[in-house]
Each structure stands twice: as C-alpha cells, then as structure tokens.
A and B are shown apart, each in its own frame.
Chain A
Amino acid sequence: MKAFLRKYWRVITSPSRYYSLGFLTLGGFTMGIIFWGGFNTAMEFTNTETFCVSCHENIYDELQQTIHFTNRSGVRAICSSCHVPHDWTDKIARKMQASKEVWAWVTGSISTPEKFEARRLALAQHEWARLKANDSLECRNCHEFSYMDFTRQSPRAVNMHSTALASGDKTCIDCHKGIAHRLPDMSDVHGF
C-alpha cells in the first residue's frame, strides 16, 4: 500500500516526459471548463421543477392552487425559488443536506400521503426555521422590502409591513406561512 502511494506520488511530482507544457496547461484548462460547466449544469438540473416534481407530486398539486403558481402578471415561483438558496455556497450546503433526503426517498420513509400528513408539521417547521434564520432570504429575493410601495398595499398590509417588518422585529415567514402549500395542524404554532 505504501509502495503504491509512493509510486503515484513520484508520477505526480516528476516533470512530464511526453506531453508539452502547453498541452498540459491548455488541456487542464479545457477539462476544467468542461468539468465545472458539467457540474453546475447537473446541479442546475436538480433545481428544475421537472426534477423536483418527479418525486414531490402531491405537494406540486397544492402549489398549483396558489398565487405563486398562477397570477395576473405571470411571474411565478418554482420549488427551488423558495427552497434552495440562490447564492452558490449556500446552494451547495443545501444540496449536501438534500443528499440525506435522497436516502429518505430510497428507504421510503415518506412513501404514502398518510405518512406525509403525519410528518407535515415537522417538515414545515424545518423550512420555517430555515427561513426565520436567514431572514426570509428566499422570499426577499423577489419581494424586496426597499422596493415595496405601501400606497399599493391594503391598509392592513401597510400596518404590518411598516411596523413589524420595517423594524426587523418580524420576518416574512412569521406571518406568511402556508402561502404555497397547505398548512399542517397549527394548534401549537405561535401566531395561530
């Protein structure tokens, strides 16, 4: 084993015998682009609606009844708009967490609507906690507070947004729960 490692260490550290420096640098550069592009393309594919819905069908039905799916202006949110951070490093962190969810899918821990209903509160709480911790970043990627026109909001919305939200006392998810999915049993949740 030690001899094996030493042999490879020698190959890596010794200068190239047959390939030119130009070939190695240009080749490395090209392969780097292909690898990096391929990696990001594959990762972006896991951010598409088609990919998400291939497993999460039931929840997609719920989304379709909400304003985040169909509305007057045709701007819409897909799963990853809200559930995956847009920033690259945070996205990688979330994708790594999601690998555990792949395991859950393989073992069928939520394989029926009944199992899903039983865990709906716990699952929702994960997302609420995540959004609370990052100050509802995924909401704010579209709904940016600095560009909100209070004169175009209802009096009730102005009241809340100009006080609790403006002061940073509350964040979007504190009030806007269940805006894209059905709510779980909320009897023990603050604010209900």
Chain B
Amino acid sequence: MISAFSKSLLGAGRNVPDDVINIGNRFDVYRNNYLVGLAGALSDVFPVLTQLVGQEYFDSVAHMFALEQPPVSPVLAFYGSGFPDFLDAFEPLKELPYLPGVARVEWARQVAATVDLAPTYLIENASDLEHALGLRVRFVPGTTLIRSSYPVATIWKHHQSNPVEPVPEWLPEHVAVWPVQGPVRLEIISQDQMSALSDFVNARNALEVLEAATDEGRATHLMSTFATFINNGLLVPSAPDFGVN
C-alpha cells in the first residue's frame, strides 16, 4: 500500500491506490499538502527568487521541482540544492538567465547558515603571517564560490532593502559565500582573487604559491590576498597531511 501511495503522490495523474477509500477524492488533500508544504520550504530558502518571479509563479515552479526531485532528507533546510540546476534547464525562464545564479547565491547562504563553525586563524603580526604562509589551507566548511555572467550577488543585495534598489551595472560577478560568527558573509570578489584562492587551497602551502609568482609585486599582492582571506575566515588551516591517504 505504501509503495502505491507514494507513486500516486508523485504522479501527475489522478490515479489513487486501490486500497484507499477515496470518498470525494479526498486523496487530493495529501497531494496538496505535499506540494504546498515543499513550495513553502523552498520559498523560505529562496526569498529573493520568490520576489523576482512572484509568489504564485514561484509556487508553480516549486511544485514541478517537488514532483521531479522529492526531498531525500527530513531536514528540509537541506532541501533545494538541485533547484538552481533545475532552473537552468527550465525552458519558460530562459529569458531570465540570471535567475539560476541568484538561486545559487541563496542556496550558498543556506549552506553557510547551517554548518557548524570551524576554528579560524588570525594574522595579527609578521610572525603570525610567517606561520600561516607555511600552513596547508582550505576553504572553511560551508563555503561556496560562484562565477556568474550576471550581477547575481548585487541583485541579491539590492533585494535586501525595500523598495528594491536598481542594479546600476549589468556585469559578470565572482562571489564568495561563507559562514562566520553572526550573519553569513557574502562578498563580490575579483576574478584574480577567485583564481588566487583556488591556488592557495590546491597548494601545499601559501609559500609555494608565492614562490611561483612572476615578480615581487605579484608576490606581495598574493600575500595581501592570502592575509585578507585568512583574517576574514574564508581560508582556514587544514589538517596536516601525513601522506597516509
């Protein structure tokens, strides 16, 4: 019975399990509860997206997503990771190609808001810097980096005020979202910073990256970037690699 009930809930048709005494088609109460509940959960996670397309349209898209990709976890804070990709492939919204990117920003914020904070490192003097340069670093757990052809972080930021502020320039953006003590941190970063961050987490330590710099000016610039992102908690020391794995 449970298997048939599940299939009927997720089916777009009107079939109802044989075992159900479906007086007045009351089975639809369960279908409706499922769709409405999940649309509400998604709208909580994607409030700017909801604003951009309107509640009614958002709900109808969310219903389609809920039928195609039901939650796998009862913790609904984890539901919605596939929504940006779903929007990418959603033909009726192709004329608003920035929407999936805005959804990625909102999902990144959700991820950052729901992880336990990891210990961070603070560079306060030259000795701290020297020590940090020798450490293997990683992104703090809960970090998302986004590359978009659209100003997705600016759109998100401008929807935090009422009335919504217009977006002055329609430019590509690189975005970092990560957890810190207090509200989630969201920064628009440069392409160069994005590239440097990738180099730092892929290297044995930051010194290795600095040594590969083409000139002293570039090395100084990279060191400054490194110190900035260590101190704002995006980069944290990684566990020592003893070569066991």
Q: Does A associate with B in a complex?
A: no
Interface residues of B (CB under 8 A from A): none
Interface residues of A (CB under 8 A from B): none
